[in-house]
Structure 1
Amino acid sequence: MEFMSVLRDFFDKGGDVLYSILFLSIWLSWLILDRYFYFLRQHSDRVEDAMRAWQHRSETSSWFALVERRSLISKVEVEMSRGLKLIPSIIALLPMFGLLGTVTGMIQVFDVMAVLGSGNPRAMADGVSAATIPTMSGMVVALAAIPFATQLERMYQDKLQLLNEMLKIGDLST
């Protein structure tokens, strides 16, 4: 119960922008987990399917074989990259939403200063909290996600290169 109270206070002090940052954080986490699950559980099945289809060909050097090879690779590549390009975009958006929170928090500070003057630091503290908490939240989530995004991109590139090597092209000189 204490945790919920602290969480509620955090969101109250941070302002409405924190809800957007929370939504983006949940979406980002889901995308990252989905891609890890795919690479760890489903990718090998897709590669096996492509390998089986390629090995059932009687020849692998004709123009039609090359088109089918490219098609097999593309099917696996589309599955591998699903949602992968959204991850860096969301990482870039998170600090922007944090800065939006900074701007809205500073507007609160200036509104308080306009109404009560600069002699009431308690009244300005809410605006300062609303200005700093979203910035910190957006940056923390973005910085925490960068290593995962980098690793997933590396996994994508490595597995794509390996798939290209596994589906060997026959001798084109014949």
Structure 2
Amino acid sequence: MPRQLAFFEDIRNFLYSGGDVLWPILLVSICLWCLIIERLIFFQQNYPQLKANCLADWEQREDKNSSYALFIRRELISQGLLQMNRGVAIIKVLIALCPLLGLLGTVTGMIHVFDVMAVTGTGNARAMATGVSQATIPTMAGMVIAITGLYFSKLIEERVSDESHHLADLLKYH
């Protein structure tokens, strides 16, 4: 039990050492990872049923070669694509927001450094180091979250593309 408490204590210390901007970065990262995990679970659990429903709707049609059938096929593919892409735009926005929040942390940390320099002069290196630390930690946190989020965002986008092409292949238009 003390190991878990030490872990949470380290997280708390990290959040306080990076200044106030790390808290919004934490909130954005929690939202981002909830959305990414939701999309991964969707493809694992919900998408197979969605694909089966689209295929069943198409297979029960007798007419598969008229222009009306083509519109129905496109509509089924579009419905699947809408379901697969749900939340992807928000994921991209959150990924773009992380480095911007990190930059905000850099600016606020540097303002702290300049305040220390204005009050104590350039001789107090310890006080200046605190401000520099507050300037670099949010930048690092924002970049790490954005880079890992980009990987999973690209993974989800590729899965959407692959599955939409696969769905289009399954719905044969004669």
Give me the whole-angstrom Cα distance separating, in 2, the residues matched to 1:55 and 1:9.
59
List structure 1 segments (4+ residues) > 6 angstroms apart after TM superposition: none
Give me the whole-angstrom Cα distance separating, in 1, the residues matched to 2:132 and 2:10.
18
Name which of 121, 141, 145 aligns with 2:145. Answer: 141
Matched ranges for 1:87-166 at <5 A: 87-166=91-170
Consecutive unaligned residues of structure 2, counting only runs of 5 or more, are none
Instruction: Give the match's secondary structure for 1:58.
Output: coil
Give me the whole-angstrom Cα distance separating, in 2, the residues matched to 1:124 and 1:158.
52
User: Alignment RMSD, CA only?
Assistant: 1.2
Matched, 1:36 2:43: no
Give me the whole-angstrom Cα distance separating, in 1, the residues matched to 2:31 and 2:8.
21
Give me the whole-angstrom Cα distance separating, in 2, the residues matched to 1:35 and 1:7.
27
Instruction: Give the match's secondary structure for 2:61.
Output: coil
Partner of 2:14 in structure 1? 10
Matched ranges for 1:41-56 at <5 A: 41-56=45-60
Partner of 1:76 in structure 2? 80
AA aligned opposite 2:115: D
Q: Which piece of structure 1 moves more, 82-91 or 11-20?
A: 82-91
Q: Which piece of structure 1 moves more, 114-123 or 100-109?
A: 114-123
> CA offset at residue 47 of structure 1?
0.7
> CA offset at residue 75 of structure 1?
1.1
AA aligned opposite 1:105: G
Matched residue count: 170
> CA offset at residue 4 of structure 1?
2.7
Q: What are the Cα deviations for residues 88-140 of structure 1, in whole angstroms up to 9, with x where unaligned?
A: 22222211111110001000100111111111112222211110100011111
Consecutive unaligned residues of structure 1, counting only runs of 5 or more, are none
Instruction: Give the match's secondary structure for 2:88.
Output: coil
Q: What are the Cα deviations for residues 49-96 of structure 1, in whole angstroms up to 9, with x where unaligned?
A: 011111111111122212211111111111100011222222222111
Q: TM-score, normalised by structure 2?
A: 0.93
